[in-house]
Amino acid sequence: MAQPLNPTHPLQDNSPTAGRTSSVLLFAGAVIGGLAVTGALALWFHYGTQMFFEMIRAGFAACF
């Protein structure tokens, strides 16, 4: 059976950008989520509740 490799010295990233990747991805996800919610609210206020739900229902019907 194969044994896991255990290096004598674990790899460490000491570069200046070591911890920035996860925070940048988190920030980008929050921005995209915020834009999606803002867009949904804008459509809701522009077209009204009835039309908003009709568009969502039509979208789901087109997908499935």
> What pLDDT, on a 0 to 100 scale, did the predictor assign at position 13?
61
Nearest-CA neighbor of 43 among 56, 31, 28?
A: 56
End-to-end CA distance of the chain: 45
What pLDDT band is residue 55 in, cutting at 50, 70 and 90?
confident
What pLDDT band is residue 12 in, cutting at 50, 70 and 90?
low
* Residue range 15-52, pLDDT digits in tens: 666 667 788 899 999 999 999 999 989 888 888 888 87
What pTM value is reported for the model? 0.54
Please answer whether residues 49 and 57 qualify as being in contact, where contact means their C-beta atoms are separated by less than 8 angstroms. Answer: no
Please answer whether residues 20 and 8 qualify as being in contact, where contact means their C-beta atoms are separated by less than 8 angstroms. Answer: no
**Residue 55: CB atoms within 10 Å:** 13
